[in-house]
Amino acid sequence: MKRFNDKAVLITGADSDIGRTAALRFAKEGANCILVGINHDILEYIYEDLPQDTTWINTGNHMTVTSDVNEPVQIAKLIEHVLQKYERIDVMVNIDTEVGIHKSVIPELIKTAGNIVNVSTLTDIPSDWNIDIYNAEQDSLSAITKALALENASKGVRINAVTAGLVTTDDSPNPFVSHCPLGKTATPVNVTDAVTFLASDDAAMITGVSLPVDGGVSALRK
């Protein structure tokens, strides 16, 4: 069963490993994917890998938009561009970007009883990294997500988050693993599993939740 059949799914930060993995999953489950990021070449590379619905008579059922979603003018143009093609937005997956875009997208999600999944990831370990800074960043996203969820619940819009630990594509040693009960880092697929669940009707009664995909790091917090 395709959980997102014919739904328009807007993915910000799509020009990333998680963005690519999420786009492939949503597309395979029937979604029309809008890939948004600042690297045009990477977006086009991901687009070429997405399964297309050959019954469409236009240029394809997915699209890429090179845009900085931290800029209000560019956000407005992005939303206009998406609505011109799809006339709707059902899901927004917001990967490692500011939540300012929510103000423009939520009015469209009210029309479709749609939802948002905010995604916060740690894709590298800077020299000044420590677990307290990581926890503070995750707490901030969780608080914002909960506030937005409560504000928009009566309008039929669900808003959740995936707070991921270090996300890698290999098993190279790193400082994060020393804090991780499972002894390993998450992969883009692990994060995408959580994102698609929260975005789907399987999570129809879930809003305001921040789902940690961190190998148990959050379970150690007091």
Give the three-state DSSP class for 45: helix
How far is residue 7's CA from residue 41's CA, in Å, rounded to a whole number? 25
Residues 32-74 have pLDDT tens digits of 999 999 999 999 999 999 988 755 555 578 999 999 988 889 9
Supply the DSSP symbol for 55: T
User: What local confidence, expressed as pLDDT, does residue 176 receive?
Assistant: 86
212 Cβ neighbours under 8 A, 6+ residues apart: 138, 162, 163, 164, 165, 218
Percent with pLDDT over 90 in the chain:
68
User: What local confidence, expressed as pLDDT, does residue 211 receive?
Assistant: 96
Give the three-state DSSP class for 167: strand
Q: What are phi and psi of 40, to 5 degrees?
A: -60, -45
Catalytic site residues? 134
How far is residue 53's CA from residue 38's CA, in Å, rounded to a whole number? 26
CATH architecture, domain defined by 8-213 = 3-Layer(aba) Sandwich (3.40)
Report field, pTM of the whole predicted structure over 0.85:
yes
Per-domain boundaries in the chain? 8-213
